[in-house]
Chains A and B, each alone.
Chain A
Amino acid sequence: MSTTPTIILIKDTRLAGVDTTRDVQNVFEKCLKEAGIESHVQAVRAADMGVYERGVVVKLLPQNVFYGNVKDEDVSLIVNKTLKKGELVEHLALRNLPSQVRVVLRNCGVINPESMEEYIQEKGYEGLRKCLLHLTPAQVIDEMKKSGLRGRGGAGFPTWMKWNLARSSVAEQKYVICNGDEGDPGAYMDRSVLEGDPHSVIEGMIIAGYAIGASKGFFYIRAEYPLAVERIHLAIKQAYEGGFLGQNILGTKFSFDLDVRLGAGAFVCGEETALMASIEGKRGTPRPRPPFPTQAGLWEKPTIINNVETLANVPVIFQRGGDWFSAIGTEKSKGTKVFAITGKVKNSGLVEIPMGITMREIVYGIGGGAADGKKVLAVQTGGPSGGVIPESHFDTPVSYEHLQELGSIMGSGGMIVMDEDDCMIDIVKFYLGFCVEESCGKCAPCRIGGYQMLKLLEKISEGNGTDQDVASIKRIAKAMQKASLCALGQTAPNPVLSTLRYFEDEYKQHIGDKKCRAGKCGKLLQYRIMPDKCKKCRLCQLKCPSNAVVGDKEKGYEVVQAKCVKCGVCYEVCKFEAVERI
């Protein structure tokens, strides 16, 4: 009988019915007590295990064994066979699970994020020790080059190159900034890492500081993530106490200090020059580059700005070597990427996959396809700066260059699944509306171009569009891409252009046929009362705000289209489903 501490994670993964996770946990606890091993085996309820629709799923750690469809009577079998004798229960074991690889999320949900001891137990700060005691800054950057890590914030700039540029800038003071201003709607991986494994990001920052010769670092975190802010504050305090921050770290000559600055709800502050202005306490407006931040950044000093996920990768690279890291992924995109897969998908949540697996594997294999048995139409990646990828291109591998070829970007990793009920014009209006509202207003192409483009799209969605409008949209998009000051304006037309590329038919339908396939563009809908279903209760007539429902008990009722304001009240109030929307 082994006495190694074991964790049993339990989760009822059925989509319907009563959640029995807690009951199974109770059975486990009883069985463990009976077997007399409750002191070193812990049964815990898990929030998500990356396995779905396999009944009650049980995962044993550190054995890393998955059991599915576990019934109450199987519990004693698992306890007696696997825990006491170390044997596998064959008929329950799950194999061939979707291919997730956890590098960034290695500790999330596994360790207590508020305990530095648990992080250290999982080989935390080993990478830092190796760097400070055995490697020169140049060697650190060489190892980063070997790993092939690219920025996870969106653009995919090679991390080693950024570090090298900052290292070669000569200055008394240099800075490292962690960009935790995760503003893309639909992406929350940075939040999860900051909340679930704060020390890994801190370790990444210290290593970055050592590599470029900086003695000061800043966390820039959204104020909307109070728990992340709290945990980072706590982790920084612990790191100071543990001697990983402050003067003469680990007895070397290297000193590094960390501080936290809060964002205040401006999407544009995710852009690096705007972010620096915000840390300096000013309005977060971008400025032209060059000079690049690596030459003159925060307070005109050389600065590197790395995304949370990028920094969380760094400690692992030094723990296990750049070669190990570069073995994961494709030729030009190394390592893993965390995606937040949400929208009209069965299993939404965070997934971490090696670069290069196909979109189909993510959407159907891990995400389980569309909910309610509908058809998946497309996936949107990269948030307001990205584009849509239609179902027909789902066999493309997910990597920086492949997504770019398709007219989208990797972005920070939001992946929104859309089904046949979604209208592309509506989605594009949503994203563009976001960019228009978040534009800082400094440069005209973004401020005016975005607004005009949105007006044209609204015109189309209301059924007043012409072919000329599409041409205008294309012209404005090109101007914005070329002339905007920062990435917000340059990429804002991306959702429009990619839908024009793959879903031009839908634009044509809205313009030519005045029809919205998905029924999302309210102004294009028509409401009609079906005489055969109508029970003549008159409810729709009473509720109609514009007196568009006419008729009487004998003749029946109908909607006068000229008067109808398309509010949909008749459709909603009808108890007999006699009002149709076409």
Chain B
Amino acid sequence: MTGMASNNSKHDSTVFMRTQAFGSGFNDKRISKEHMKLTTIDGQQIKQAVGKWKDKPGNLIMMLHEVQGCYGYVPREVALKLSHEADVPLARIYEVITFYNYFKLQPPGKFNIAVCMGTACYLKGAPELMQELKNRLSIDEGQTTGDGMFHLDGVRCLGCCGLAPVVAVNGRVHAKVKKGDIIDILSKCKKEANS
């Protein structure tokens, strides 16, 4: 028996982020250049992802989950390769990627900050936290700082309403965040990056 404490998984569970799937993504030269490097190693991984799901019906979304699990987003080159390997038109792949908020077209930042915009968090001051983060980082929702350090998002309910308002940094949930806590959260990230 583990008792009740173990059931309170709110603190340790990883939380993934929603992005603006309709962003400028795949025309960005900087991104595609960056990922030319990655594409040299991904052939095998994509083959694996395709092999694992190939015979199962309705596999496209699950294959995209595998790809995103690997890279943190779906790079253009990888999508092309997937289209080739799985014999799915590229248009169908992008049709799916752009529909679902979960799939990203841009690489994530080093620290992905997700402000929960669920109802409970909203009522308890999430908009203020978002404004504070925007001010401190000088970026808008859905953007990454110039140095690639922070990416800021407003996300759908993280399911920790009892701890509202929450801010998740790389999946780690900070509970009952106040406006004054934001600066601490950010400086902790910076410290971690330097060490």
- Footprint of B on A, CB under 8 Å? 7, 9, 42, 44-49, 108-113, 118, 182-188, 191-192, 195-196, 223-227, 259, 261-267, 278-284, 299, 340, 342-344, 348-350, 380, 383, 414, 416, 418, 422, 427, 430-431, 440
Contacts and interface: CB of A to CB of B under 8 A. Distances in A.
A49 B8 CA distance: 12
B99 A112 contact: no
Nearest to B12: A227
Contacts of B124: 343-344
B1 interface: yes
Interface residues on B, range: 35 or more
B122 A264 contact: no
Closest 9 pairs (CB-CB, A-B) = A44-B3, A264-B100, A265-B102, A265-B101, A47-B8, A46-B4, A185-B118, A342-B120, A281-B60
Given A109-B4, A266-B100, A280-B57, A430 B65 contact: no
B110 interface: no
Contacts of A112: 1-2, 6
19 contacts: A7-B1, A7-B3, A44-B1, A47-B4, A112-B1, A112-B2, A112-B6, A113-B7, A182-B159, A185-B118, A185-B120, A186-B118, A188-B161, A223-B102, A225-B13, A263-B102, A265-B103, A283-B95, A383-B119
Interface in B1-22: 1-9, 13-16, 18
B90 interface: no
A281 B58 contact: yes
A330 B33 CA distance: 64
B38 interface: no
B154 to A, nearest CB: 10
A549 B118 CA distance: 36
A264 B102 contact: yes
B100 A262 contact: no
B148 interface: no
Nearest to B100: A264
Contacts of B60: 281-282
B119 A185 contact: yes
A343 B119 contact: yes
B164 interface: yes
B158 interface: yes
Nearest to B95: A283
Given A110-B4, A188-B157, A350-B162, 4 more contacts: A113-B7, A183-B156, A185-B117, A262-B61
Given A262-B65, A280-B58, A109 B7 contact: yes
A15 to B, nearest CB: 13
B79 interface: no
Given A224-B16, A343-B120, A47 B100 contact: no
B3, B95, B160: residue with the most chain A Cβ atoms closer than 10 Å: B3
Contacts of B103: 264-265
B119 A47 contact: no
Contacts of A185: 117-120, 122, 156-157
Given A186-B161, A281-B96, A416 B119 contact: yes
B46 to A, nearest CB: 17
Contacts of A192: 7
B91 to A, nearest CB: 12
B183 interface: no
B16 A226 contact: yes
Given A265-B100, A414-B119, A186 B61 contact: no
Given A188-B157, A342-B162, A44 B61 contact: no
A278 B169 CA distance: 29
Nearest to B15: A224
A196 B7 contact: yes
A227 B13 contact: yes
B161 A226 contact: no
Contacts of A191: 159
A544 to B, nearest CB: 16
Given A44-B3, A112-B1, A261-B58, A186 B157 contact: yes
B123 interface: yes
Given A226-B16, A266-B100, A348 B164 contact: yes
A421 to B, nearest CB: 9
